[in-house]
């Protein structure tokens, strides 16, 4: 699987839908040169391959050396993109605006300045309507160039308005850039580190957030400025495990699309991510009813035309919905029901292998391991945990740590006491090195070191361990432990001789009665 999608041209060919492949062949056959027929031959060969193999390609394509094949691949790649641009321009505002800008430049270079200005004016209206300020600034820049270099008979009012608009857009773009940078860097911090582990992390992230946050927040307006502001606050709150703030800004993010519904087709990816974030917020707060309503809304949306327009949207909608479905089973304790989703999820991940990042696969492996752990199938849980432990170490240090912790508890449940002592020392060293040890984890290690004795002693040790950590459930720097692995429910299942599923489901029913 590692080399399956190693070639960029191979990836592009296998990402094409039937209609896109048909359009490409029609597009190429219009010219029907000898070179074009060769790239059709190369296209067909790549399309039939399940895995990229250059040696097989060289055998299938006659009169080809490695150098000739490399040139042919470059030609095919360019032609595929040109074909896709022709086919997809009508579906995408950014591509439409790019085409207008290109046409305006071509006309200007031909000396047809008035025609160029008319296209620019029409394109500016489209850019303003869709809040595409980056393109708008390019359009105004070309417009100013034409006005400065040539006599166009534009009025004084128009030139003054153009200058004012340029300054206003420049200020807007600066705020959007700073806010989008902040959201991106916070996301990067989380992917590497996970949640804030201690007061030091909390202090660092607050200073970082304050330094990057634009000073002129009172001037924040418009869709994109608000979107990136809400995203930044979401990540800031999530990293600090302030789940109430996280929920509030996730809701603002989704509500922004209710205020600008037409932008769901313009910025579909951000809407999909917003729904995913809102569902995560409901999961973290155990807002059961709101979670179910939001999931139903997202599932309904996934069947719409706009959610299925592109592979990217279709892929991520499917991934986020399946992630939410697993979360629903995790917070209700219906682990065995959740396991029925695993086969379909793995099929989808394999189907979308081109588009799914390693981080997302890591998260799914952990969630699936948790389903197996909660249902008491510790052997199967170990299989999925090994995928994380043997996986990349530059992503989600927190998941690496908790995968090892759950791995250790699985061995405890399986009665593999002979390896538990050395395993506990190894995991403790790893978590200490990663600065990931909390009070809960330290208590867990103490328990495991002394618990495999007589049944009476184990029962007492379990009760003592539960008493030690129960009061930490609301502590912000300890909630990490309970979010990644519900240790309290696991302990309660041992103390009360019930399954973990029964304990969590009972809490879910009680919570529903209290809230509703």
Over residues 252-271, the pLDDT tens digits come to: 999 999 999 989 988 999 99
Domain boundary among 273, 307, 332: 332
Q: What is the pLDDT of residues 287-303, one digit of tens each?
A: 999 999 999 999 999 99
Of the candidates 203, 197, 207, 278, the one whose C-alpha atom is nearest the C-alpha of residue 243 is 278
Which whole-number Å values give the CA distances from 154 to 104, 128, 144, 169, in the listed order?
17, 21, 11, 21
Q: Do 35 and 79 reside in the same domain of the chain?
A: yes
Number of domains in the chain: 3
Q: Which of 154, 180, 200 is the last residue of a domain?
A: 154
The answer to whether 75 and 81 have CB atoms below 8 angstroms apart is no
Note whether 145 and 113 are same-domain residues: yes
Which among 222, 313, 331 has a CA at the least distance from the CA of 275? Answer: 313
In this structure, is residue 296 part of a structural domain? yes
| 114 and 64 together in one domain | no
Q: How far is CA 59 from CA 40, 53, 454, in A?
A: 16, 10, 69
> pLDDT digit string (tens) for 188-205?
888 777 778 778 888 889
Please give the residue range of the domain that contains residue 146.
92-154
Say if residues 237 and 250 touch (Cβ distance below 8 Å): no
Tens digits of residue pLDDT in 94-146:
889 999 999 999 998 888 888 999 999 999 999 888 888 888 888 988 888 88
Distance CA 38, CA 61 (A): 8
Q: Which residue has the higher pLDDT, 313 or 421?
A: 313
Q: Tell me which residue of 96, 85, 79 sits closest to 43, measured CA to CA.
A: 79
Which pLDDT does position 367 carry in this prediction?
95
| Whether residue 125 sits in one domain with residue 74 | no
Per the domain annotation, does 312 fall within a domain? yes
- Residue 475's pLDDT is what? 62
Residue 325 within a domain: yes
Contact indicator for 426, 465 with CB cutoff of 8 Å: no
CB 177 within 8 A of CB 215: no
Q: 235 near 186, Cβ under 8 Å?
A: yes
Give the Å distances, CA to CA, from 442 to 281, 419, 427, 429, 480: 28, 19, 11, 11, 14
Give the per-residue pLDDT at 303.
Answer: 94
Task: Count the neighbouring beta carbons within 10 Å of the beta carbon of residue 242.
Answer: 15
Q: Please tell me whether residues 80 and 100 are part of one structural domain.
A: no
pLDDT in tens, 34-73: 556 788 888 998 998 888 888 888 887 766 677 788 888 8
In a domain, 115, yes or no: yes
Same domain, 110 and 126: yes
More confident residue, 10 or 434: 10
d(C-alpha 389, C-alpha 508), whole Å: 31
- In Å, what is the CA distance from 494 to each residue of 12, 41, 460, 499, 506? 52, 64, 11, 8, 15
pLDDT for res 474:
65
**Do 69 and 96 have their domain in common?**
no
Q: Is pLDDT larger for residue 458 or for residue 377?
A: 377
Closest to 205 measured CA to CA, from 215, 217, 192: 192
Q: Is residue 3's pLDDT more than 50? A: no
Inter-residue contact 58 to 70 (CB < 8 Å): no
Long-range contacts of range 204-211, CB-CB < 8 Å, 24 or more positions apart? 205/236, 205/239, 205/240, 206/240, 209/182, 209/236
Q: Alpha-carbon distance 348 to 355, whole Å?
A: 11
The number of helix segments (H) and strand segments (E) in the chain equals 27, 0
**Burial class for 503, CB neighbours closer than 10 Å (0-12, 13-18, 19+):** buried
Pinpoint the alpha helices (H) of 89-198: 93-109, 113-129, 133-149, 156-193
What are the CA-CA distances from residue 156 to residues 5, 88, 118 (Å)?
A: 57, 39, 18
Closest by CA to 406, choosing from 421, 392, 422, 427, is 427
Work out the number of other CB atoms within 10 angstroms of the CB of residue 461. Answer: 19
Whether residue 135 sits in one domain with residue 81: no
- What is the tens place of the pLDDT at every residue in 304-331? 988 888 888 888 999 999 999 999 999 9
Inter-residue contact 266 to 133 (CB < 8 Å): no
Tokens linked to 109: 């270079």
For residues 122 and 76, membership in a common domain is answered with no
Structure tokens, 134? 């980056």
- DSSP label at residue 151: -
- Is the Cβ–Cβ distance between 488 and 470 less than 8 Å? yes
User: Is residue 324 within 8 Å of residue 250, measured between CB atoms?
Assistant: no
With a cut of 70, say whether residue 450 has pLDDT above it: no
Band of residue 394 on the pLDDT scale cut at 50, 70, 90: low
Flag whether 305 is in a domain. Answer: yes
pLDDT confidence band for 5 (50 / 70 / 90): very low
* Interatomic CA distance for residues 188 and 183, integer angstroms: 9
Q: Which 3 state secondary structure label does DSSP give 154?
A: coil
One domain, residues 66 and 113: no
Sign of CA dihedral 20, 26, 30, 32: positive
Pair 100, 83 in one domain? no
- Using a 10 angstrom Cβ sphere, with 0-12 exposed, 13-18 middle and 19 or more buried, the burial of residue 301 is middle
Is 505 within the bounds of a domain?
A: no
Record the tokens describing residue 452, joined without a space. Answer: 């495999």
357-376 b/e with 16+ CB inside 10 Å = b? eeebbbbbbbbbbbbbbbbe
Residue count (the chain): 516
pTM of the predicted protein model: 0.78
Domain check: are 326 and 289 in the same one? yes
The answer as to whether 264 is a domain residue is: yes
What is the C-alpha to C-alpha distance for residues 395 and 189, in angstroms, rounded to an integer? 10
Q: What is the predicted pLDDT for the residue at 1?
A: 35
Residue where a domain stops, chosen among 123, 154, 185? 154
Residue 423, in any domain of the structure: no
State the DSSP code for 185: H
């Amino acid at each position: 699987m590692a080399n399956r999608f190693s070639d960029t041209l191979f990836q592009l060919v296998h990402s094409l839908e039937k209609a896109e492949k048909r359009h490409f062949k029609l597009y190429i056959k219009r010219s029907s040169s000898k070179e074009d027929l060769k790239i059709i031959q190369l296209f067909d060969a790549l399309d039939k391959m399940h895995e990229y193999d250059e040696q097989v390609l060289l055998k299938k394509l006659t009169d080809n050396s490695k150098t000739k094949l490399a040139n042919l691949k470059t030609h095919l790649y360019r032609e595929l993109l040109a074909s896709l641009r022709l086919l997809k321009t009508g579906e995408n505002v950014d591509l439409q605006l790019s085409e207008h800008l290109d046409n305006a430049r071509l006309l200007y270079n031909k000396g047809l300045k008035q025609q160029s200005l008319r296209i620019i004016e029409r394109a500016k209206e489209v850019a303003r309507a869709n809040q595409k300020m980056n393109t708008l600034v390019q359009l105004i820049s070309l417009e100013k160039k034409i006005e400065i270099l040539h006599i166009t008979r534009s009025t004084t009012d128009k030139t003054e308005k153009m200058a004012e608009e340029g300054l206003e857009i420049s200020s807007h773009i600066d705020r959007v850039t700073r806010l989008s940078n902040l959201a991106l860097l916070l996301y990067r911090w989380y992917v590497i580190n996970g949640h804030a582990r201690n007061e030091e992390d909390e202090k660092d992230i607050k200073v970082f957030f304050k330094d990057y946050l634009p000073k002129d927040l009172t001037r924040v307006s418009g869709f994109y400025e608000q979107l990136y502001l809400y995203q930044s606050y979401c990540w800031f709150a999530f990293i600090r495990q302030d789940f109430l703030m996280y929920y509030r800004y996730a809701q603002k993010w989704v509500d922004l699309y209710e205020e600008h519904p037409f932008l769901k087709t313009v910025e579909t990816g951000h809407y999909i991510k917003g729904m995913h974030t809102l569902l995560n917020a409901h999961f973290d707060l155990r807002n059961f009813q709101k979670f179910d309503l939001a999931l139903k809304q997202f599932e309904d949306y996934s069947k719409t035309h706009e959610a299925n327009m592109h592979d990217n949207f279709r892929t991520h909608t499917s991934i986020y919905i399946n992630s939410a479905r697993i979360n629903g089973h995790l917070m209700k304790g219906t682990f065995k029901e959740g396991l029925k989703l695993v086969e379909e999820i793995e099929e989808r991940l394999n189907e979308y292998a081109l588009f799914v990042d390693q981080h997302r696969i890591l998260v799914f492996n952990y969630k699936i391991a948790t389903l197996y752990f909660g249902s008491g199938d510790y052997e199967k849980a170990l299989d999925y945990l090994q995928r994380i432990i043997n996986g990349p170490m530059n992503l989600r240090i927190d998941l690496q740590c908790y995968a090892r912790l759950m791995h250790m508890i699985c061995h405890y449940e399986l009665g593999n006491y002979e390896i538990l002592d050395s395993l506990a020392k190894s995991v403790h060293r790893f978590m200490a090195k990663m600065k990931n040890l909390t009070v809960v984890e330290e208590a867990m290690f103490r328990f495991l070191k002394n618990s495999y004795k007589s049944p009476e002693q184990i029962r007492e040790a379990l009760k003592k361990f539960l008493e030690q950590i129960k009061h930490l459930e609301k502590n912000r720097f300890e909630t990490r432990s309970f979010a990644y692995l519900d240790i309290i429910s696991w302990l309660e299942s041992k103390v009360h001789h019930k399954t973990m599923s029964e304990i969590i489901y009972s809490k879910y029913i009680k919570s529903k009665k209290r809230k509703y």
